Homo-oligomer: A and B are copies of this chain.
């Protein structure tokens, strides 16, 4: 839509209309007492709005349609009326179906024994998918970066432990990649590839991962608007991979003074995203909280808001964990969380016309 200045001349309006036609669209000119508004009729994506914004007489040139189309429910409904929600299959687990899914495991893979012990614990607690970090994104180059930092051989060994622990306890597995160099190796060993918050905007990486044709766990950046998040998810669907699970993991805390949590869980994003796209969305309470004692409350809040699942960091001995010990829960705590979340899900699922 092109909004003209109040003082725009007839000639300026005519020039804008002429320019729109060049791009193969039609123009609907609405002349009012205060100003003229020109609606674009046709595919707005052909229009370089920044170009129109500086034509003489133009006040604002804005796209009304959302920048993401392929992932939108509105778009999906045009072709298939009942395609409101997509169920993503990770191994034999369905994400986005009738029951919430719980992904759990340690922040970082530390040893074969650690992985097996935790896998056993989270399975017993009710988790369906196993996680374990091998390439850890870290703020400081001086911090532990995961076993993946030890070179290809060490990385592959850690991947094997994760894979085997998943096999042993019948859970598909997921791990995060952080750079293009890790995609091929990781894809061989896991059922789902995670793209972390800090790589959300990394369009070359998104494209490369999407082409692996595996499910992708895709986290929102902590400074990203929802529209940006969905627009970048579109990069993967544009590669014809629709097995994308979105994940809200907390946004930047706001305001002066001390932070009581590492991030602010944007629980509002859960129902708004559900109304925009058919892709399932889950919540990561562990990174949002950064504190073990908040994980229960944020987990229940996420499920209550309509999340299709949770990803929770768990360790049998958080004090000894090499990374993020302060936010990992024990398998016992995880069991309590999963049990409460199922009850919460039961409490809210009978809503009429949820979205």
Chain A interface (Cβ < 8 Å from any Cβ of B): 1, 3, 6, 26, 28-35, 37, 39-42, 44-45, 48, 50-51, 53-55, 64-69, 74, 137-144, 178-182, 198-199, 201-205, 208, 221-228, 231-232, 234-235, 238, 250-261, 263-273, 275-276, 288-289, 292-294, 296-298, 300-306, 318-327, 336, 340, 343-344, 346-348, 350-352, 354-355
Among A41, A259, A326, chain B packs the most CB atoms within 10 A around the CB of A326
CA distance A214 to B336 in the complex (A): 40
In the complex, chain B residues whose CB is within 8 Å of the CB of A144:
48
Q: Which residue of B lies closest to A300 (CB)?
A: B304
CA distance A140 to B203 in the complex (A): 10
CA distance A36 to B177 in the complex (A): 41
Are A50 and B340 neighbours in the complex by a CB distance under 8 Å? no
**What are the nearest 3 A-B pairs in CB distance?**
A223-B223, A179-B204, A225-B255
User: What is the oligomeric copy number?
Assistant: 4
CA distance A273 to B261 in the complex (A): 11
Are B50 and A35 neighbours in the complex by a CB distance under 8 Å? no
In the complex, chain B residues whose CB is within 8 Å of the CB of A250:
268
Task: Select which of B44, B238, B254, B319 is within 8 A of A225 by beta carbon.
Answer: B254
In the complex, chain B residues whose CB is within 8 Å of the CB of A140:
45, 67-68, 231, 234
In the complex, chain B residues whose CB is within 8 Å of the CB of A54:
292, 318-319, 325-326
